[in-house]
Amino acid sequence: MPKYKQVFDEMLKKNKTPFAEFKEIHDQYTAQPNKWKKEFNQKGEEIQIIIRRFENQLCRHSENGGFGKFTSGLAEKFWEEIRIQ
């Protein structure tokens, strides 16, 4: 399994509750954007902080390993995995 998928799976496993809460708010926001916009944005900021923390963890390992030029591609694959979910 690629490293970005391992980090993605670890992120989901360690943060089940915040991601489940965000999914619930996301579904409500999709149905009624004006009503759920504030909650969606607040929870979305929390989720982005979690994602960025794991993205930094992933990219730090590749930069320290001498693969700095591949870091942007690795980050993009990580974000693609997030968008799929």
What is the Cα–Cα distance from 18 to 72, expressed in whole angstroms? 26
What is the Cα–Cα distance from 27 to 7, expressed in whole angstroms? 25
Domain count, the chain: 1
Q: What is the pTM of this model?
A: 0.83
Q: Mapping DSSP to helix (H, G, I), strand (E, B) and coil, where does residue 66 land?
A: coil
- For the record, the structure tokens of 54 come out as 């794991």
The band of 74, judged by pLDDT with boundaries at 50, 70 and 90, is confident
C-beta neighbour count of 7 within 10 angstroms: 19
Q: What angle do CA 54, 59, 63 make, to 5 degrees?
A: 150
Which residues span the domain enclosing 54? Answer: 3-84
pLDDT digits (tens, 9 = 90+) for 18-58: 999 999 999 999 999 999 999 999 999 999 999 999 999 88
